[in-house]
């Protein structure tokens, strides 16, 4: 792409927190952004150049976005890949490729694709009936993870079956076969890690420092960077990430989530073909953020050399359990009085229990130092709503 980057129009399918942070990064280079989102008051609405209000699966709205832009990307994988494929065939530049997106949208197909390319994953099976699920429990034992093949995130669309008594309940909870389902053998992992990696159109690669993820109720609560793993595990994870990006022919920033076992094996769990919550630490923690790297990737600019600035932790700000309605942030003044604390509040109008509404990155000379401040921040910053439930 040889045109002046300040004259390029980038379209983003999705104006949530990831889209907003991408726009903020791109505005440093004078890039013009058009966003498609179902909500007129989405987080990116206040800073984007143009906003198209429409559903992520609406062919006419997606085509309208394409007509306005030189390059299209997306912040969210649950979108109309078929329309994007048609647009790509007609000459529109779309990164990551919608063909790559389609491989990832179906979790069972994603696992089959990875397995066929000798990338280690947990054992799995596609489930077509309750009888299939009963047989899978006999094969794999419990605990066993039942998943919707499409559409799940933050634990939605997942059910961890802990006993035989939960089989029918799990099957009903995930639609009783209305949607395609799969089971995945439970991996007794010691750590969950993420590898955030950028790949350019020419195939050049840059990897961010491995990060370690702590979840609660299937929602990411904390990311620790760098991950507390040894060199053997780190090397395996990076090699797996590079191989995954190459076989997918990924362009842009991807997040590859992995399990580390007691035997120091590394298995790929899931792939996000986009910037990711666990990569938010890169904004202050690294020499270039995941958002800046993504923009460089899709615009055929040289990838930034990645260096870790300092160690630290990132914690998600979630809506308090007993509130919903118009969101109110409290405790920011006290938290920001601490050194090396960086608040990112997404500007979502409403809150509900455990909804992601922001994050805080805390840097330190050591991870332990960052942990100490993080504990204070967690007990200080809250997001409440106008209605108590």
Q: Which segments are annotated as binding site?
A: 107, 147, 184-187, 192, 215, 269-270
Rounded CA Rg of the chain:
21
Known binding-site residue numbers for ATP: 107, 147, 184-187, 192, 215, 269-270
Chain centroid offset of residue 309 CA: 22
Strand partners, 318: 356
Whether the CB-CB separation of 175 and 245 falls below 8 Å is answered with no
- Give dist(CA 344, CA 359) in Å, integer: 5
Whether the CB-CB separation of 79 and 66 falls below 8 Å is answered with no
332 phi/psi in degrees, rounded to 5: -65, -40
Whether the CB-CB separation of 8 and 29 falls below 8 Å is answered with no
Q: What angle do CA 67, 10, 254 make, to 5 degrees?
A: 120
Cβ neighbours for 375, distance < 8 A, ≥ 6 positions apart: none
Which tokens go with 176?
């009783």
Q: Where are the alpha helices (DSSP H) in 162-265?
A: 167-173, 231-248
359 phi/psi in degrees, rounded to 5: -150, 160
Give the burial class of 91: count Cβ atoms within 10 A of its Cβ; 0-12 exposed, 13-18 middle, 19 or more buried: exposed
Cβ neighbours for 178, distance < 8 A, ≥ 6 positions apart: none
Which helix (H) or strand (E) is 182 found in, with range?
strand 181-185
Pairing state of beta strands 9-13 and 32-37? Answer: parallel
Whether the CB-CB separation of 16 and 42 falls below 8 Å is answered with yes
**Cα–Cα distances in Å, from 281 out to 11, 212, 323?**
24, 11, 27
Q: What angle do CA 140, 272, 349 make, to 5 degrees?
A: 115
């Amino acid at each position: 792409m040889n045109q002046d980057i300040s004259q390029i129009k980038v379209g983003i399918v999705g104006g949530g927190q990831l889209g907003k942070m991408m726009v903020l990064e791109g505005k440093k280079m004078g890039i013009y952004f058009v966003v498609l989102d179902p909500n007129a008051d989405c987080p990116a609405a206040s800073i984007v150049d143009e906003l198209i209000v429409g559903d992520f699966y609406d062919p006419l709205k997606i085509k309208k976005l394409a007509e306005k832009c030189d390059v299209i990307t997306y912040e969210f994988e649950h979108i109309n890949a078929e329309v994007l494929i048609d647009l790509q065939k007609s000459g529109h530049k779309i990164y990551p490729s919608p063909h790559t997106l389609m491989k990832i949208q179906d979790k069972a197909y994603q696992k089959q694709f990875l397995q066929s390319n000798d990338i280690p994953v947990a054992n799995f099976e596609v489930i077509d009936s309750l009888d299939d699920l009963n047989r899978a429990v006999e094969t794999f034992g419990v605990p066993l993870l039942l998943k919707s093949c499409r559409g799940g995130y933050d634990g939605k669309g997942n059910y961890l079956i802990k006993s035989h008594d939960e089989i029918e309940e799990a099957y009903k909870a995930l639609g009783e076969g209305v949607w395609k389902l799969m089971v995945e053998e439970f991996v007794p992992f010691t750590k969950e890690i993420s590898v955030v990696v950028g790949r350019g159109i020419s195939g050049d690669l840059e990897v961010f420092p491995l990060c370690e993820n702590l979840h609660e109720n299937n929602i990411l609560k904390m990311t620790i960077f760098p991950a507390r793993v040894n060199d053997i595990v780190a090397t395996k994870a990076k090699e797996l990430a590079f191989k995954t990006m190459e076989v997918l022919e990924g362009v842009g920033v991807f997040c590859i989530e992995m399990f580390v076992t007691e035997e120091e094996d590394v298995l790929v769990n899931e792939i996000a073909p986009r910037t990711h919550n666990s990569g938010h630490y890169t904004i202050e923690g690294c020499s270039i953020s995941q958002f800046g790297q993504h923009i460089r990737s899709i615009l055929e600019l040289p990838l930034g050399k990645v260096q870790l600035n300092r160690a630290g932790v990132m914690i998600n700000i979630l809506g308090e359990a007993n509130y919903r309605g118009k969101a109110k942030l409290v405790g920011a003044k006290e938290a920001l009085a601490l050194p090396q604390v960086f608040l990112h509040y997404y500007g979502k109008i409403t809150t509900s229990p455990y909804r992601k509404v922001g994050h805080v990155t805390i840097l330190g000379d050591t991870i332990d130092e960052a942990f100490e401040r993080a504990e204070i921040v967690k007990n200080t910053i809250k997001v409440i709503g106008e209605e108590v439930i």
